[in-house]
Amino acid sequence: AISNDPYLARILPGGPIVRASYYGPYEGTEAAHNAIDAYIQKNGLTITGSPWEVYLTDPGTEPDPSRWLTYICYPVSTTTTP
């Protein structure tokens, strides 16, 4: 069924994550995603699901995009790969 509700609730998976704190406009998060991917590969971790972003700053109350904080999270397995 299609909902007109503007909010989506999801249960996030439990377990370890790699998280980056990104300050800047939302259009710039790709660099943080790339940095996380490099970290995961360098440390032999495995991504176990889809990443998600948590927006901690309200652009309506903070007009300066350089102060917008976003957490970028990737679920991972800590069992390293060779």
Q: What is the pLDDT of residues 29-60, one digit of tens each?
A: 999 999 999 999 999 999 999 999 999 999 99
Confidence (pLDDT) at 80? 59
Query: What is the CATH number assigned to the segment(s) 17-77?
Result: 3.20.80.10
CB-count burial class (<10 Å; 0-12, 13-18, 19+) for 35: middle
Residue 72 has pLDDT above 60, yes or no: yes
Structural domain spans, the chain: 17-77
Predicted local distance difference test score (pLDDT) of residue 6: 79
